[in-house]
Amino acid sequence: MAKAINLSLRDALTRDENVLIFGEDVGALGGVFRITDGLQKAFGEERVFDTPLAESSIIGVAVGLALRGFRPVPEIQFDGFIYPAFEQIVSHVAKYRNRSGISLPITIRVPFGGNIGAVEHHSESPEAYFAHTAGLKVVTPSTPGDAYALLQTAIDDPDPVIFFEPKARYYLKEEIDPSARVPIGKARVAHEGSGVSVIAYGPTVSIALQAAKTAAAEQISLEVIDLRSLSPLDMDTVMASVRKTHRAVVVHEAPVFCGFGAEVAARISHDGFDLLEAPVARIGGLNVPYPPARYEKLYLPDVDRILQAADAALAYG
């Protein structure tokens, strides 16, 4: 996936001379995950550059550059470091067009999620805060192919987009098609099934697919939906699935309490009340700060927990 994103950025820089990439260590180093490897060398320091260590201003400066006619693609180095920039994102990036009529075509790239054995602040899932903010679009790919295609769409979009990259999947490999495009606001059926709809995004899609594989061996059929886009949220795809299965489980790494899954579950329960043969379940993190690495596998959703929820949904009646 890292290479797919690298290629997508490269192609964006080629197609549009106004695209700028900047952030901490994105230039000479090529990014701490090597996502921007080689880009400064290829496109020069005026297109791809390192900034001082200042997240709030990285985003604030992006606002200014966008006003001046550029298409900024700033990077926030880790999910846990987005918070100094929260003000700029929520108060300005999200609201500028509403205030002034001027669109800010900013795409903010952020690696997110855990499961890499990291220290504090490197495994967060803050997507709900941003999906909750009108004026922003929030997306997250789960495959290299979608990473390439969704990023192209995000950069082209005149509205600001937060592009969450599941860092635990950076080394996931697959053949990609650079001509493919994934629209924002469209989920995909990652695996067809008929028994329970398992709705996931970002790093939990792989786990849901593993669960579907295990379930199949027990003659249980799970359908896996990869949301891809949190805001806007594609409820059509979700409801089509629930119409088929009548049972749903939502899975994310972020804590269940007030997590993004609550929005999905509420929508399903409301819009699809008469479709349900079991209550909608949510699987996710505990309501505690992300734990030290030795405990993260106990905190994060895994195949067993997804299957347990699917079992309960199927046994309900």
Partner 1 sequence: MAEVVRVVAADDPVRALFSPAGELTADARSRLGLDAAALRELYRNMVLIRRADQEALNLQRQGELGLWGQYLGQEAIHVGAMTALRTEDWVFPSYREFGMAMIRGIDPADMLTLFRGLSHGPWDPRKYHFAPLAIPVATQVPHAVGFAMGCRLKHTDEVVLSTFGDGATSEGDWHEAMNFAGVFKAPVVFLCQNNYWAISVPLSKQTAGSIAERAQGYGFPGLRIDGNDVLGVYAAVRAAAARARQGDGPYLIEAVTYRMGAHTSSDDPTRYRPDSELQAWNAKDPIARYQAWLEQQGIIDEGTVAAIADAADSAAQAMRTRLTAMPVPPPGEAMFGRVYSNPPESFLQEREEFESSLEGS
Partner 2 sequence: MADQTFRLPDLGEGLTEAQLVAWRVEEGARVDINTPLCEVETAKAVVVIPSPWAGTIQKLHARPGESVAVGEALVTITSAEATEAEATPGTLVGYGPGAPESGIRRKARTAAASVPESGGDTRAAPFVRQLAKEKGVDLAQVMGSGPGGRITRADVEAAASAPVVASATSTAAPSTDGERRISVVGIRKAIARQMVRSVSTIPQFTEFAVFDATNLMAAREQGKASGRSMTPLPYFIAAVVKAVKAYPLMNSSWDESRDEIIVKEAINVGIAVNTSQGLLVPVLRGADQLELTAIAEKSAQLIEGARAGTLPPGQMSGGTITVTNVGASGPVETGTPIINPPECCVVAFGAIKPRPMVVGGQVVARSGAWISISVDHRIVDGALATEFLTALVSELETISA
**Does 110 contact partner 2 by CB under 8 A?**
no
| Exposure on the CB side of residue 291, measured as CA atoms within 13 A | 14
**How many chain residues bind partner 2 (CB under 8 A)?**
37
Letters for 247-286 (x = contact with partner 1 by CB under 8 A, - = none) are ---------------------------------------x
CA distance 149 to 129: 24
Report if residue 292 touches partner 1, rule: CB under 8 A: yes
Which of 101, 298, 315, 317 touches partner 1 (CB under 8 A)? Answer: 298
Which tokens hold the place of 128? 């709900």
Range in contact with partner 2 (rule: CB under 8 A) among 48-56, 102-110, 182-190, 307-315: 307-315
Q: Nearest approach, Cβ of 306 to partner 2 (angstroms)?
A: 9
Residues of span 138-177 touching partner 2 by CB under 8 A: 167-168, 170-171
**Site for partner 2 contains 239 (CB under 8 A):** no
316 touches which of partner 2, partner 1, none (CB within 5 to 8 A by kind)?
A: partner 2
CA count, 13 A, side-chain hemisphere, 317: 4
d(CA 112, CA 122): 8
Q: Are 26 and 75 in contact (CB under 8 A)?
A: yes
Residue of 7, 61, 116, 235 that binds partner 2 (CB under 8 A): 116
Q: Give the bridge partners for 189, in sequence order.
A: 225
Binding mask 80-109 for partner 1 (x = CB under 8 A): xx-xx-------------------------
Determine whether 61 is exposed, middle or buried from the number of CB atoms within 10 Å of its CB (0-12, 13-18, 19+): middle
Decide: is 221 part of the binding site for partner 1 (CB under 8 A): no
Looking at the Cβ atoms of 56 and 214, the one nearer to partner 1 is 56
Written as one letter, the residue type at 100 is S
Q: Do 265 and 238 form a contact (C-beta atoms < 8 A)?
A: no
Cis-peptide, bond into residue 232, ω within 30° of zero: yes
Residue spans of alpha helices (H) in the chain: 2-15, 39-43, 55-67, 86-87, 96-100, 127-131, 144-156, 204-217, 235-245, 260-271, 296-299, 303-315
Active centre residues (catalytic): 122
- In eight-state DSSP terms, residue 274 is G
Residue 161: φ, ψ to 5°: -130, 135
Is 118 a residue that touches partner 2 (CB under 8 A)?
Answer: yes
111 binds partner 1, rule: CB under 8 A: no
CB of 285 to partner 2, least distance (A): 13
Radius of gyration of the chain (CA): 19
Orientation of helix 303-315 relative to helix 204-217, angle to 10°: 60
- Least spacing, CB of residue 3 vs partner 1, in Å: 17
CB 123 within 8 A of CB 116: yes
Among 115, 197, 206, 231, indicate the residue that binds partner 2 (CB under 8 A): 115
311 is a contact residue toward partner 2 (CB under 8 A): yes
Where on the chain is the footprint of partner 2 (CB under 8 A)? 2, 32-34, 115-118, 122, 167-168, 170-171, 246, 273-279, 293-295, 297-298, 302, 304-305, 307-308, 311-312, 314-317
Where on the chain is the footprint of partner 1 (CB under 8 A)? 24-25, 27-30, 32, 50-57, 80-81, 83-84, 117-122, 286-289, 291-296, 298-299
